[in-house]
Structure 1
Amino acid sequence: MVLTDTHTHLYYETDGVKRAALMQRCADNGITRLFLPNVDVSSSEQVFDLASEYPDKCYSMLGLHPCSVKADWETVLEEIWSSQQGRKIYAIGEIGIDLYWDKTTLPEQILAFKAQIKRAKELKLPIVIHCREAFDEVFSVLEEEHCDDLRGILHCFTGNNQQALKAINLGFYLGIGGVVTYKNGGLDKFLAEIDLQHIVLETDSPYLSPVPYRGKPNESSYLIYIAQKVAELYQLSVEEVADVTTQNSKQIFGI
């Protein structure tokens, strides 16, 4: 069984011994493919370092998180693009719009989002979208930028059935994480109505730990609990869920 964590910030753990233990726990649970989203200038080297340490398991993305978008976003983006230095990336992310923390930066967030979508189109890479309290704004940008080459994941999907179908119709997969295990998370009410072919799994570690670890730091090895809940909802085996969602991740990232 091969499980794929399509969104983990495992690189935040900088202690080598602890990080090795995290990776071993992943391997013990069949989680052998991990995709690392970048958030700002300082994290790009952390992403590349972890991918270099585990080249057959960890895969890099580059992007500017919407919560990191300030007035100087253009300069910051140039620094992020420069940090690649010929190294392989598999997506532009995580990018998008977040209106939970700061609504005043919405104009800049939209501009930065569009600029990074342009970059993805130029490089023919998928995008990984952060959307928090901003479905209307994100969908507006995606509809404006829509083309056959624009694809990716709506990370940490917490919307409703209508929003799920809209994302799928725009060419995006739904990133399902720990929220699916929450009693009042809402996803369990309709997720099984969505074809599993449109879903990938993620942890967003160290955030959004699934039950039974809710409220504690998350880690990629906990993806197994998300897979088990998804399997329960779809009335499938965990192995079947792993096979389909991992194949979906290969379709997105090309690896």
Structure 2
Amino acid sequence: MIDTHAHIYASEFDEDREQVIERALAQGIDTILLPNIDLESIEPMLATEAQFPDVCRSMMGLHPCYVDGNIEETLKTIRAWFDKHNFIAVGEIGIDLYWDKTFKAEQEMAFVTQLQWAKELDLPVVIHTRDSIEETLELLKQEQDGSLRGVFHCFGSSLEEAQAINALGFHLGLGGVSTFKNSGMDKVIPHLDMNYVILETDCPYLAPTPNRGKRNEPAYTELVAKRIAELRGISLEEVENITSTNAKVLFNI
């Protein structure tokens, strides 16, 4: 299995990162993809990748929650990293209007700029969207020239939104939210196009049931896979095979 979205470079894992990787490997999670969030996360992310080169692969991007008035300088620094290191994706990028709308225009500019990098570099994008699905899809439609590909990570919306995302050629990252009782995902997952589904944790956040509220980690990817298998009436092995194949093709790994 592949955990396509894990922040295991975060300080929450400083005390036991090695054990976290060992538990993941023991559960059959052999690849963990690391999304960048801001300028401060680059160094710990690359150090984690260097420590576990057979397991971890990094991406590079600016998360919308870290967009501020200094956006042009920040983007210049982020873009320069693509010339110095081999990243598997542009991410995590997107629009987040849940916490603060102060820099909405800057968030949109940063999102479009990074989508353009992805086209230029021929890389997939990993998209974060919160209270902003309409804005995100609108900008994506404008930029989609047939070469953009990627994933809406941490998907927890309606079937209609899933289909709109798929229609643009984008995947859905299913994680802990898929296991939550009141998320409504039990009504959505049985009808998703499995050719567009990949697994993720978004750890240390959003641990799946029965670990909800605790620190999440890549080993819990299997709990998400089990829930999908249960809701679709297929075997765990089938979910693992489909989602891993999808992730390998999407991220060229």
* TM-score, structure 2 as length reference: 0.97
Q: Alpha carbons of 1:70 and 1:53: their partners in 2 closer, same or farther (altered >3 Å)? A: same
Q: Counterparts of 1:1-255 in structure 2 under 5 Å?
A: 3-13=1-11, 18-84=16-82, 86-255=84-253
C-alpha separation in 1, matches of 2:178 and 2:148: 26
**Structure 2 counterpart SS, 1:64:** coil
Counterpart residue type for residue 55 of structure 1:
P
Gaps of 5+ in 1: none
Q: Deviations over 1:138-178 (max 9, x none)?
A: 00100110111100000001110100000000010000000
C-alpha separation in 2, matches of 1:70 and 1:137: 19
Gaps of 5+ in 2: none
Counterpart residue type for residue 188 of structure 1:
D
Counterpart residue type for residue 4 of structure 2:
T
> 1:105 Cα shift?
1.2
> 1:84 Cα shift?
4.6
**Structure 1 counterpart SS, 2:33:** strand
**Structure 1 counterpart SS, 2:182:** coil
Counterpart residue type for residue 125 of structure 2:
I
C-alpha separation in 2, matches of 1:16 and 1:10: 9
> 1:85 Cα shift?
5.2
8 Å CA contact 2:12, 2:204 repeated in 1: no
8 Å CA contact 1:48, 1:60 repeated in 2: yes
C-alpha separation in 2, matches of 1:159 and 1:182: 13
Q: Alpha carbons of 1:211 and 1:14: their partners in 2 closer, same or farther (altered >3 Å)? A: closer
> 1:86 Cα shift?
2.3
**Structure 1 counterpart SS, 2:5:** coil
> 1:237 Cα shift?
1.3
Q: Which moved more, 1:160-169 or 1:188-197?
A: 188-197
8 Å CA contact 1:13, 1:19 repeated in 2: no
C-alpha separation in 2, matches of 1:108 and 1:127: 18
**Structure 2 counterpart SS, 1:104:** coil
8 Å CA contact 1:45, 1:83 repeated in 2: no
8 Å CA contact 2:63, 2:92 repeated in 1: yes
> 1:83 Cα shift?
3.7
**Structure 1 counterpart SS, 2:41:** helix
**Structure 2 counterpart SS, 1:190:** helix
> 1:82 Cα shift?
2.7
8 Å CA contact 1:156, 1:204 repeated in 2: yes
8 Å CA contact 1:66, 1:97 repeated in 2: yes
Give the CA RMSD over aligned residues. 1.2
Counterpart residue type for residue 245 of structure 1:
T
Counterpart residue type for residue 225 of structure 1:
L
**Structure 2 counterpart SS, 1:41:** coil
C-alpha separation in 2, matches of 1:104 and 1:187: 31
* TM-score, structure 1 as length reference: 0.96
